[in-house]
Chains A and B, each alone.
Chain A
Amino acid sequence: KQEVTQIPAALSVPEGENLVLNCSFTDSAIYNLQWFRQDPGKGLTSLLLIQSSQREQTSGRLNASLDKSSGRSTLYIAASQPGDSATYLCAVRSGGSNYKLTFGKGTLLTVNP
């Protein structure tokens, strides 16, 4: 059974700092990995999707990497801003369960002005 773990559970940083969020998964037979952002009381917004054959994806100040063999992904946020404050969720689509995303519990990020 696929399990996804996100560390840390919460992170507070000053504005302008570069930061890394971590995601690990137990079954390396994944189809893809997706990072989402969730604002309080809102739905999930997709940030980046990495196919199993890819090593990284970039969008603006966000960079996500994937090391499938070690079961790890990182989300790098450059020059953080107060507007980046949210919960960040990692989810994997496993090769053995083609229709299911397995989610981590998220990292609550607070960027202080």
Chain B
Amino acid sequence: NAGVTQTPKFQVLKTGQSMTLQCAQDMNHEYMSWYRQDPGMGLRLIHYSVGAGITDQGEVPNGYNVSRSTTEDFPLRLLSAAPSQTSVYFCASRPLAGGRDTQYFGPGTRLTVL
């Protein structure tokens, strides 16, 4: 049971480049989400999904796309990277039902956009 895994751990991009941050979980959780963490800003929700084929926007979705084709995977795509997207990105998952919904976080991807 690996929990929530993220790849890569570190990435440097040039402005305008595109890339995909990978996230996978092996706990059969319906709910998955992406956050970004910036100094002085705390963690902010980018996108989330409540199951395969269902995604929705969080509070800072601009410049990012997501899809959810399987329960396990929830990739985050940067369409045209900008320096403002330099951040640490965390993927999280939890069960959707039951209420006792501890969130499990991945180790993060540290992205620098030059």
A99 CB contact (under 8 Å) in B50, B99, B104: B50
Say whether A58 faces chain B, with CB atoms less than 8 Å apart.
no
Interface residues as binary, A19-62 with B (CB distance below 8 Å gives 1, 0 otherwise):
00000000000011010100001111110010100000000000
Within 8 Å CB of B56, what residues of A? 99
User: Given the complex, which residues of B lie within 8 Å of A91, measured CB to CB?
Assistant: 43, 103
| B-side interface residues, number (CB < 8 Å) | 26
4 more A-B contacts (CB under 8 A) besides A89-B43, A101-B43?
A41-B108, A44-B105, A93-B101, A104-B42
| Interface: A103 (CB within 8 A) | yes
| Pairwise interchain contact B43-A103, C-beta atoms closer than 8 A | yes
Per-residue CB contact flags for chain B residues 15-33 toward chain A (1 = under 8 Å, else 0) read: 0000000000000000101
Residue count of chain A within 8 Å CB distance of chain B: 23
**Minimal Cβ-Cβ distance residue in B for A104:** B42
Docked-complex contact A101 and B102, CB < 8 angstroms: no
Q: Which residues of A contact B41 (CB under 8 A)?
A: 105
Cβ contact of A46, chosen from B43, B44, B50, B102, cutoff 8 A:
B102
Nearest A residue to B48 by beta-carbon distance?
A: A99
